[in-house]
Chains A and B, each alone.
Chain A
Amino acid sequence: MSAAAAPAPAVAARGVEKWYGPLAAVRGIDFSLAPGEFVTVFGPNGAGKTTLLRILCGAVKPTRGAVTIGGEDVGESGAARRRIGLLSHQTFLYPGLSAAENLDFYARLYGLPRRGERVEAALVSVGLHDRRADRVRTFSRGMQQRLALARTLLHGPAVILLDEPYTGLDPHAAAMLRTVLERLKDGRRTVVLVTHNLSQGLEQADRVVVQVAGRWVSDEPRAAVDAASFERVYTDRVAAAV
């Protein structure tokens, strides 16, 4: 069954909770995303947004509940994990290796065919081909994030999670990221964007969510949200839930 025609939702979370001892980071989140949906999650610090993303991509195991990607449990299925990419404000790159070597390592981990070709194409697409042999340690923050973006998309994931990706980016890199996000809305790829920045977050969203204290306190289609008054609405929602 091809991904585009799959009846299973692109991402589904059922009763997801994450407890660290007696403290909860995520206390019960349920949702499902259709393929091609673009969801933006807003929320204050400590709301558990990063934890949720880490659970969605399988890096963290939930205490209760399950996450499925394309119908398969992300904790158990390698195939499910291959369909996800995560871009965080941490780059997940090795500073001591070059740009090309970093991408080559990830290509090997994912078992990607035509490795050399893919790495080249990825470097070209983020404008780092001429720095391919330079160590990541010598890169600026913007260049590192561009490389991280290449790493995220290298294996062609159908679900892309972005955890505050604009953090610390110079205007050139930020503009590039915005363009990439626009291009990701191709109807095939599902995107979950976590951000503090209200205007950037609303730009491409199909669905707007506010997460506070480990729960989704609001979940509305973009059309129902008025951009001008959203900041006040958001602040109210956060205050009410705490």
Chain B
Amino acid sequence: METTTATPPAGYVHSGVGSSNDSLASTRTWAVGLGVLAGLAMLASLYMVFFYAPTEATMGIVQRIFYVHVPSAWTAFMAFGIVALCSAGYLWLRDPRLDAIAVSSAELGVVFTTIVLITGPLWGRIAWGAWWVWEPRLTLTLLLWFIYVGYFMLRGAAENPERGRRFAAILGVVGAIDIPLIHLSVQWWRSQHPKPVIMRPEGAQADPAIVQTLLVSLLAFTLLFFSLMLFRYGLERLQTRAHALRAAPR
């Protein structure tokens, strides 16, 4: 009868070398390029953290952990924003590339969230004498960590991988909508507490040198995030293609 073979949907086909459709070569170029820039920015940031920024008056040397803590938090939440946008896009368009970006961002996001949850208590132990305090932003980050965990559990536990991606995308969208509400509720909750504890690792005054160092650190972390995310994205796309080739009829 017919001799034409139907092809898998876009995103699952190996288009071949030189094709403009989803070429991974450009991804790799960008990833390496951003990685180099990130490395340079990290070096600059390290120099500034240890030699340029002044030692903070009340907290001393330990305050410098702030230059890791705040950029990590920024990156963690930015990552989740990317997860949310790509999840919404995936639910709408069903393009597996959007899902690949989402899972890459999520994996990095959970790493940076963990860094926030480690550096926060480290700082808190010195500053307040307690390992954990229910400070609003730290609490929000903790809940974000759990949402990330749920994201990965859903992906892995579904009956078929396609559904797993869709379920995780739903959690991404619902989680993103919930985050502002959680933020409001946690803020309100702590404001009811007699002595609200506010995390001000940057110290009482915002010395320009501190702000500059912070911005450079932020840049370094953001570049690092995007570089690693692109590497991970490339890996995810290769895995999808390998799976497709393995499954294709001979």
Contacts and interface: CB of A to CB of B under 8 A. Distances in A.
Direct A–B contact in the complex, CB atoms closer than 8 angstroms: yes
Interface residues of B, number: 16
Contacts of B2: 28, 215
Contacts of B4: 28
A126 interface: no
A15 to B, nearest CB: 9
Nearest to A26: B6
B1 A20 contact: no
State the main secondary structure of chain B at its contact with A: loop
B65 to A, nearest CB: 44
Contacts of A19: 8-9, 12
A24 interface: yes
Residue among B1, B243, B248 with most chain A CB within 10 A: B1
Nearest to B1: A217
B8 A24 contact: yes
Contacts of A218: 1
Nearest to B4: A28
B247 interface: yes
A228 interface: no
State the main secondary structure of chain A at its contact with B: strand
A188 interface: no
Nearest to B246: A22
A216 B6 CA distance: 13
B6 A20 contact: no
B163 to A, nearest CB: 9
B247 A28 contact: no
A63 B9 contact: yes
Contact of B160 (A17, A20, A24, A215): A20
A113 interface: no
Interface string A185-229: 000000000000000000000000000000111100000000000
A27 interface: yes
Contact of B243 (A21, A64, A217): A21
Contacts of A109: none
B162 A20 contact: yes
Nearest to A213: B249
A21 B6 contact: no
Given A21-B247, A28-B6, 4 more contacts: A22-B12, A23-B247, A63-B9, A64-B9
